[in-house]
Amino acid sequence: MPILFHAYPLARAALFAMDAETAHEVTLKSLQRAYECGATRSLLHAAPLAPADLMGLRLSNPVGLAAGLDKNGAYVDALGNLGFGFIEVGTVTPRAQPGNPKPRLFRLPRAEALINRLGFNNQGLDAFIANVTRSKWRANGGILGLNIGKNADTPIERAADDYLIGLSGVYPHADYVTVNISSPNTKNLRALQSSDELGGLLAQLQERRKQLADTHGRQVPLAVKIAPDLTAEQVDAIADTLPRYGVDGVIATNTTLSRDAVAGLPHAQETGGLSGPPVHELSLAVISRLRERLGKDFAIIGVGGIVSGRQAREKMAAGANAVQIYTGLIYKGPALVRECVQAVATRGA
């Protein structure tokens, strides 16, 4: 078994002694150094093959990295080397922005959870594209999703302008594009999930995608990432809207505003989105509702609260075609990728 699997608990103790955002940056830089010296090469092949199809894309396995860990697309190759079947980077906005004031990332270790109010901090579209084009992940057969959002100072009524800029910029470099309308940390962003707002946005994105497909000679799949804090009626409305505008997939779900599962824990009342196991049941409910409404052929990516292979299997059993992890990776380390691949590869066996 690769040595990094055994070393992570010790590394985690050191990382958890740091401020959460500092530890995040140290981890990515350390992972990059490990990749460059070949220390993570064996991880790429540690997970069993579990081929899967997603939005017309062929995956080596259906376990992916969720957006948010690498907002600037600067660590694509290093992250891809951990054994993921696909990775998603971003969220990127047209213009660079610092995000919300620090501190803005908090651990809740007893719940293996995080609260973040980062606010789409990123270096902007030009830097993002430069990073992505330098990476070798896609050239080596990896599947890469690029996640787009709007700038914080763009009025919500002009949000489509930012998404169109983002789609046009990332389109040539993506295997699929995710439209993030569900972060709780950009004012009024979640309003775009309402049926009227969503339909208006998707109509413009679909028209732009047709133009881009003609220009580049290929149609890049489009996914929409939604929140776990939706009523059944809101989920139904989204499920009815997505196919109408040619969307290929839905990512369920983003972080939650609910604190019911972490009440009384240190940092539980910090504002922002809660991720980790407290989101698992919420996302399962949304996935199940989506699958019932969308039928068997529409692509669903399940994310939220996966810290073991069991939760990955439960996401798939609820109706997901693939899963993504993020917070679980921080608490469990790279061994979680292989555990999840093994779990979904053997489901039903």
Active site residues: 183
Q: Which of 249, 201, 254, 210 lies closest to 229 in space, CA to CA? A: 254
Distance CA 126, CA 220 (A): 20
Cα angle for residues 212, 214, 219 (degrees, 5° grid): 65
Cα separations in angstroms, 272 against 46, 51, 99 = 35, 36, 12
Longest dimension (CA), the chain: 54
Residue with tokens 């470099």: 173
- Give dist(CA 221, CA 55) in Å, integer: 6
Q: How far apart are CA 257 and CA 294, in angstroms?
A: 26
The answer to whether 44 and 81 have CB atoms below 8 angstroms apart is yes
Q: Give the dihedral of Cα atoms 58, 59, 62, 67; nearest 10 deg.
A: -110
Residue 141, sorted as left (phi over 0), alpha (psi -120 to 50) or beta, turns out to be left
Single out the residue of 230, 231, 279, 228 nearest to residue 251, CA to CA.
Answer: 228
